[in-house]
Amino acid sequence: MDPQILSLGLAMLGAGALAGFAAGLFGIGGGAIMVPVLFFVFEALGYSPDITMKMALATSTSVIIVTSIRSARGHHLKGAVDWSLVWQKNPFKSWGLWIALGALLAGSWIVDWLSGRQLTLMFGVLAILLSLQFMFGRPDFRLGERVPGGAAPPFAGTVLGGICGLMGIGFGSIGVTLMLLFGKSIHRAIGTAAAIGFFIGLPAAIGYVISGWNIADRPPYSLGYVNVVGFATMALATIVCVPFGVKLAHKLSQERLRMVFGICLCLVAINMIRKAL
């Protein structure tokens, strides 16, 4: 086997393991770890810069399907998922439906005309502000006592789903902070964000398959922009490592978990800004 291919495969396995651990610990999909690694892999193999980032984003969202299911199951067994936010009997009142719609639009349509550089820069700045609130804000500060319903899921859910779909990330980076501001405990916010990640990963991956279906010069074994080899390698590693993150999340105090999450989110944001600039 080509040593370069072997080393790149090992890099994917390592990134998948770290992403799985992060998914369980913080309720995130691990995309902030997977996207840069996938981008490096496709770039090192000589593929066009025009498609490498889209391939990285698409493959990352496909892996989020696996990490979110695995992570949500672990948090559900500990009673830490608010399913009333994820899905309701009336689906039009569910955050999951509208987040899924935004993610689908991101992968199938918006990715073809929206500037990724501008979106990455804006999201990076927002994420830094959110991370500072995590690390230095008052734990008892609230915008409300409950996550809003009514018109909030259709509008805010669609926008948030679109942003996450375009960034190749799960819901933890944004959703955990928002749920904390509306009265959720850190553990319940993380568990709920993990479950909502499925409603980002699956629709976004389908969208990327559609938008990339007729694009030439993609890596072999790709469905649209989703690379099946990258998906399988990283998904395997995440399946193994998610439970370790879940176990640690429920051992840490809320204060310590807020600080750890804030630091990690800040590092993710800095990395995004670096890529945008």
pLDDT at 4 (0 to 100): 58
Name the residue with tokens 């309720």.
Answer: 27
pLDDT of 272 over the 90 cut: no
pLDDT of 1 over the 60 cut: no
Reported confidence tier of residue 82, pLDDT bands at 50, 70, 90: very high
Question: Which of 52-61, 205-214, 241-250 is modeled with the greatest confidence?
Answer: 205-214
Nearest to 236 by CA among 19, 4, 3, 77: 19
Residue 226 dihedral angles phi and psi, to the nearest 5° = -90, 120
Q: How many CB atoms lie within 10 A of CB 194?
A: 37
Please check whether residue 53 is in contact with residue 276, taking contact to mean a CB–CB distance below 8 angstroms.
no
Reported confidence tier of residue 2, pLDDT bands at 50, 70, 90: low
pLDDT at 45 (0 to 100): 80
Tokens of 136: 């230095």
pLDDT of 172 over the 90 cut: no
pLDDT at 147 (0 to 100): 85
Report d(CA 275, CA 18) in Å as an integer: 20
pLDDT at 8 (0 to 100): 67
Span 42-70, pLDDT tens digits: 877 888 877 888 998 999 999 999 889 98
Please check whether residue 29 is in contact with residue 170, taking contact to mean a CB–CB distance below 8 angstroms.
yes
pLDDT of 17 over the 90 cut: no
Residue 94 dihedral angles phi and psi, to the nearest 5° = -90, 135
